[in-house]
Homo-oligomer: A and B are copies of this chain.
């Protein structure tokens, strides 16, 4: 059984475990059961026809006396590239625009308020090639590029916040490239952009060949549906990154990613979920699917032969909640849309229960961290 053949962990467990054991295994693995969300028949049919998986679930919170429930529906979209990687650049972009437009239309039918696409969603994840051409041609202005215009249209049409992670060309600063998420308000206005804070140098990738560490800090976007932040891809390995978005008030942190099985699959269900628990917020982990082939061979720098692809993007997008529960994952092999209804009241309820922020002793850490980064830092080591 190759990595690309198992469709999903959850479905495998459901197939083989007896009901009693399944229930207990699910509790231990996934926490409190999420409620299945009833989605309109029109959406179910459109998803089937357009050949992508559609799942819906709801995270509920206790009723409060003074606050109404704050239900918001998020949509996580994972997809394979549409055209071969050597098709003309504009054709590749247009095909992805069309594919994602088809999926967003279904998200709208499902009442999604905030949709987020995968990392660098308008292009193949070509940064493994080390080649600059034609990949840098996929870069666009975050404020005025065709993809942002496309997202603005969607946002207005569907009254939906759109989080659009792209390869950004920053003309104002010498035409530099960035790995950036553009946040478009449901009004259609570009609310702002936020850049990937941590840049990998691992396996097939030294992404700093293309773009450097982001300089937009840990800003949070106040939308009509809640305060959101975007922790792009490799930033999910850095607990401090999640933490600082949370300190700035993020209620939902999206993690648009692109990562393959051999590299990271066992870490995938752990990191975004730990972040939701540790920071009393919701996290949404999104990964692309499929295997992308490139014309010219490249090396992974791992002593093995050069190759034309670097493995299977395993999808498995999911939502994690502050109470330790999580949604089922989307398919490991198919395009998919996960619609999750989040009652944002859960964040404060869990914070009041567990009180990690209150017990966090951040002043101590600010001081210790300031010492730890000094070049002449002396670790605190006890010897016999």
On A, residues with C-beta under 8 Å from B are 1, 3, 5-6, 9, 12-13, 16-18, 20-21, 23-25, 27-32, 183, 185, 187, 189, 191-192, 197-203, 213, 217-223, 227, 234, 237-240, 243-244, 247-249, 264-267, 269-271, 273-274, 277-278, 324-325, 353-356, 358-366, 368-370, 372-373, 379-384
> How far, in whole Å, are A32 and B262 apart by their CA atoms in the complex?
10
Residue of B nearest to A190 (CB): B384
Would you give the shortest CB distance from A161 to chain B, in whole angstroms? Answer: 10
A143–chain B nearest beta-carbon distance, Å: 14
Smallest CB separation, A329 vs chain B (Å): 9
Q: Is the CB of A384 within 8 A of B191?
A: yes
A278 to B221, Cβ gap below 8 A? no
Q: What 6 pairs between A and B have smallest CB-CB spacing?
A: A31-B266, A239-B239, A274-B274, A366-B369, A248-B379, A266-B324
The docked-state distance in angstroms from the alpha carbon of A286 to that of B5 is 35
**A12-B24, A238-B360 given. 4 additional CB < 8 A pairs?**
A201-B355, A218-B368, A248-B381, A270-B324
- Report the minimum CB–CB distance from A212 to chain B (whole Å): 11
A200, A365, A372 — which one has the most chain B CB atoms within 10 A of its CB?
A365
Query: Which B residues lie within 8 Å of A366 (CB)?
Result: 366, 369-370, 372-373
Which residues of the partner chain B approach A234 to less than 8 Å between Cβ atoms? 359
**A187-B384 contact, Cβ under 8 Å, with A278-B237, A354-B237:** yes
Contacts of A17 in B (CB 8 A): 12, 16-17
Closest to A200 in B: B359
Other-chain residue from B16, B25, B28, B381 in contact with A220 (beta carbon distance below 8 A): B381
Q: Is B1's CB under 8 angstroms from A28's CB? A: no
- Bound complex: CA A60 to CA B359 (Å): 37
Q: How far is the CA of A133 from the CA of B240 in the complex (A)?
A: 41
Bound-state Cα–Cα, A125 to B245, Å = 36
